Structures are given as structure tokens and as C-alpha cells.
Amino acid sequence: MSEIFPELPYVKYEGNETKNLLSFKYYNPKEKIKGQSMEEILRFSVAYWHSFCNNGSDPFGAGTLTKPWDGIEDPLKHAQKKAEGAFEFMDKLGVNYFCFHDRDIAPAGKSLKESNHNLDTIKEVVKKLMEEKKIKLLWGTANLFEHPRYANGAATSNNSEVFAYAAAQVKKALEVTNYLEGKNYVFWGGREGYETLLNTNMSLEQDNLARFFSMAVDHAEKIGFNGQFLIEPKPMEPTKHQYDFDIANVLSFLRKYDLDDYFKVNIEANHATLAGHTFQHELRLARINNSLGSIDINQGDPQLGWDTDQFPSNIYMTTLAMYEILNNGGISPGGLNFDAKVRRSSIEPIDIMYGHILGMDTYARGLKIANELIKDRALENFIKERYKSYDKGLGLRIKDGKEDFDSLEKYVLDQYTENKKDSGRQEMLELILNQYIFETR
């Protein structure tokens, strides 16, 4: 088969002395870190929608990015050529995973039947390409936000027929994900929220969302899908207020409806910042609750208050993200999915390649730095010391549940001294972090 992107090279690791911008300077897939190769730890994935479907259009103007399959009128031939281009791109980039929405790989038809037929046709093309290029499916999902029928929500629509349609669509997407041996299945509730409470029965909508998730769990069992279910929080966009606002919100929802055994979270960096958190905050919260499933790697723009989905270039963010992931014992069966797109003026396919190289190197470097930080206990020793009052005496008795308000009041009256203050040393710790970022080899 002739190449679809003849101008794109195979990207290789060349080390940090090279001047070749189309090579990896830090991402060395086979290099071992704590006994595992970088590719096994990072599990990079390309997002089908941003890299192969996005044409650069925005609310103010038309598409700017052209693709070799533009202009193919037959929708299935178009989808087939797009799939071939996608797998050639991913092979050249050297990633092992990809993610898709049902409607990214195969076009929606005029009816559910026709859409399902399109998916069934293209899933065969994709399966063959996966085998040929040795690329696996990190996760699949259903697009329950684009079609006008979902304007009032999918599982949280006021209309029960729309709920039914969404269920039928997820059933099929789950079956295709299973067929392609997807490691996870993601729910991102683009329209699952509200625009105004003046027209909203919040309690029914949330109960229905939980019913919908339970049905998915039951169906997975029915068809033998063993992948991990993930919920991807986002505070707003496209709705004013989405129900999966952030990690804390999702965890309380899952616990209320007894779904916490079946779901973990897929955390996107730009969604964390939209919710007013750092990416690390969301990762930490998920990690300490044993819920960290997978991550969508990108970054927002500090001056723009919306979801810009840029390729990650911030070494502080990637270092601290990898710090959480290593402390989590890794992220498998999840991975690091590039939910990132090039700017509207970056119009050539090679720009998409630069974007991924930028992100992969920034994460690979972050991984190495985080590993050193952990190995040297550079932060842990300080934290341990900072909380030492809970290791013995009064603190230990509090932890063991042996104190109450009466005994604590007595303790303060008899023994408390005001002069035991200590410094939080934030600046010193930032100095240490910088030292590791600057000096890690």
C-alpha cells in the first residue's frame, strides 16, 4: 500500500544531543525504569478524534486542517482511508494504543441500524490494521453529545426515548470495544448536566444517570467485557454545569449509587484546571481513593478560561503527574491518552506529529525526574517528619480512636504549649523540585 503521509518519517529515540526535531530526545521506549520499560509505564495513546477527525473549525470560522481523505464522498470509503491514515500515523509515531468514539471511526447513518452497520463494517478494517501495526485499543466510548437529539442530555435527558437511544448506542459501542479488545470503556457526559435549574429535575436526572451506568455494567457482564469502566469528570463545556464535575463529585456519586466497585476515573489535565484544581490534585484524590484509572494528557492555557486541549509542554505538570502515577504503582490497564489538538493555524499533518513528540518527551522526562524524586525520598522524608506528631503519644492515640473531646480538652489544659510551631518550608521544597528538574540525567 502506498503511504498516506509520505512526508512523515518514523520517529526514533536519538537522545538529547540530536538537533532533529522529529526524534525523541527523552522517550526511549525500551529504557528500563524500576524494572519496567518506559513504554510499559507510559502506555501512550493517540486520540482518534483530535488527530484524524478534527478539521480546525471553531465557533468563529471554518476548518483549516486538510487530510488526505478529504473529498472522498462515499462515507465508508472515507472512514476506511481515515483508518489507514490513522494507523500509518500511529505506527510512524511509535505509540502502542489509541482511543475512539463510535462516530470517529465510522459515520453516523440515518438510523441506528445504519450507524451500527457502518460500525460493523469499519470495525473489521480497524481490527486488521491493529493486528498489522501491533497497536491496541486503550479505550472506546460513545459520542452522546454531537447529535441534536442529545441537546437536553443523553442518560439525563427529560425524554425517556432519548435515554433509550443513548442506551442502544452505548450497547453497540461497548460491543465494538469488546470486539477490539479494549482495555477500558469511558463515559464522558458531554450533555449530562444542565443549563438552568428552572427547567431541571436534578434528582431524577442523577438517578437516571446511575441507572444508565448500572445497565452498562450488566451488559458488560452479559457480553464478557472485562475492561475497566471509567468516568471522565469535567465541570462545564458544553453544559453550564456537568454532573461529573470533578473527582470529588464523581466519587460521591459512585458511592451514593453503589457503583464504586465498578468504576474508576479518567482524569483529563485541562478538565482539572477548568474545575479550579491542579492536575496533581485530581490525580492525588483519585489515587488515595484507589480510583485512578487512566489519564487524558493535555494542558489548558492560563489566559483562556476554556478547554483548549493543547499538547502538554509543562515539565512541572508532567513531573508531578508522573509522581502520582508512580506512587500509584502505575496506571495500567489505563494509559496516557493524548486528548490534545493542534492550534487552528497549525495546518499540516506534521504539526500533529510535532505535538505528540512534544508531549511524549515532556512526559518521558517527567517520568525520569519523578522516579528520582521518589527514589531519594526527596519530598517523602520531609512529609514524614512534618507529621511525626502522629507517630506516637497523643497523635497515635488520636489515630487509634482512643481520644475524645473530654480527653483532648484535658490534654490541652494540662500539657499544651503554644511554642511548638514549625515551618511548612514550601520555598525549600520548590527549590528541591527545581533541582531535580534541572539536574536529573
Helix axes 315-327, 279-288, angle to 10 degrees: 0
Can you tell me which of 232, 282, 361, 372 binds ligand XLS, judged by CB under 6 A? 232
Q: Given the DSSP bridges, would you call strands 36-37 and 32-33 parallel, antiparallel or unpaired?
A: antiparallel
- Nearest C-alpha neighbor of 268 from the set 247, 238, 290, 239: 247
Among 102, 104, 205, 268, binds Ca ion (CB under 5 A): 268
- Spell out where 68-222 has E strands: 97-101, 136-141, 184-187, 193-194
Instruction: In angstroms, give the least distance from the CB of 247 to Ca ion.
Output: 14
244 binds, among Ca ion, ligand XLS, none (CB under 5 to 8 A by kind): none
d(CA 214, CA 218): 6
- Site mask, ligand XLS, residues 234-273, x = CB under 6 A? x---------------------------------x-----
162: exposed, middle or buried (C-beta count within 10 Å: 0-12, 13-18, 19+)? buried
Nearest residue (CB) to ligand XLS, 101 versus 281:
101
The helix-helix angle for 349-375 and 315-327 (nearest 10°) equals: 60
For ligand XLS, the binding residue among 44, 52, 163, 188 (CB under 6 A) is: 188
Using CB under 5 A as the binding rule, whether residue 324 contacts Ca ion is answered as: no
Number of residues counted as binding Ca ion (CB under 5 A): 6
As measured in angstroms, the least distance from the Cβ of 181 to ligand XLS is 19
Q: What is the chain's length?
A: 441
Cell of 358: 512534544
The least CB distance from residue 326 to Ca ion, in Å, is: 22
Distance CA 314, CA 358 (A): 10
The residue range among 31-39, 269-277, 369-377, 383-391 that interacts with Ca ion, by the rule CB under 5 A, is: 269-277
Give the count of residues interacting with ligand XLS (CB under 6 A).
10
What is the DSSP secondary-structure string of 331-369? Answer: -TTS-EEE-----TT--SHHHHHHHHHHHHHHHHHHHHH
Site for Ca ion in 293-322 (CB under 5 A): 296, 307, 309
- The residue type of 49 is W
Amino acid identity for residue 152 in this structure: N
- 337-376 mask for Ca ion (x: CB under 5 A)? --x-------------------------------------
- The yes-or-no answer on residue 104 being catalytic is yes
User: Which residues, at least 6 apart from 343, have a Cβ–Cβ distance to it below 8 Å?
Assistant: 310
- Marked catalytic residue, from 102, 104, 244, 307: 104
Q: Which three cell numbers stand for residue 347?
A: 495546518
> Under the criterion CB under 5 A, does residue 246 sit at the interface with Ca ion?
no
307 binds ligand XLS (CB under 6 A): yes
Q: How far is the CB of 22 from ligand XLS (least distance, A)?
A: 27
Q: Which residue is nearest to ligand XLS (CB)?
A: 188
39 binds, among ligand XLS, Ca ion, none (CB under 5 to 8 A by kind): none
Tell me if 270 contacts Ca ion by CB under 5 A. Answer: yes
The nearest distance, CB 378 to ligand XLS, in angstroms, is 33
Does position 102 interact with Ca ion (CB under 5 A)? The reply is no
Least Å from the CB of residue 355 to ligand XLS: 16
Contacts of 290 (CB under 8 A, 6+ apart): none
Structural contact between residues 193 and 182, judged by C-beta atoms closer than 8 angstroms:
no
Distance (Å, whole) CA 249 – CA 243: 8
C-alpha cell at 360: 511524549
Based on the residue annotation, tell me whether 277 is a catalytic residue of this protein: no
Q: Supply 112's cell numbers.
A: 441506528
Residue closer to Ca ion by CB (options 8, 137) is 137
**Residue 296 lies near ligand XLS (rule: CB under 6 A):** yes
Give Cα 380 to chain centroid, integer Å.
Answer: 26
- Break the chain down into helix, strand, coil percent, rounded to 5: 50, 10, 40
Pattern 109-148, ligand XLS, x by CB under 6 A: --------------------------------x-------
Contacts of 365 (CB under 8 A, 6+ apart): 26, 315, 318, 319, 440
List the single partner that 141 binds among ligand XLS, Ca ion, none, CB under 5 to 8 Å by kind: ligand XLS
List the catalytic residue out of 50, 101, 271, 356: 101
Scan residues 334-353 and list those touching ligand XLS (CB under 6 A). 339
Instruction: Assess 157 for contact with Ca ion (CB under 5 A).
Output: no
Under 8 Å between Cβ of 25 and 16: yes
**Residues 129, 85 contacting (CB under 8 angstroms):** no
The nearest distance, CB 256 to Ca ion, in angstroms, is 24
Q: List interacting residues with ligand XLS (CB under 6 A).
A: 101, 141, 186, 188, 232, 234, 268, 296, 307, 339
Q: List interacting residues with Ca ion (CB under 5 A).
A: 268, 270, 296, 307, 309, 339
> Catalytic residues, which ones?
101, 104
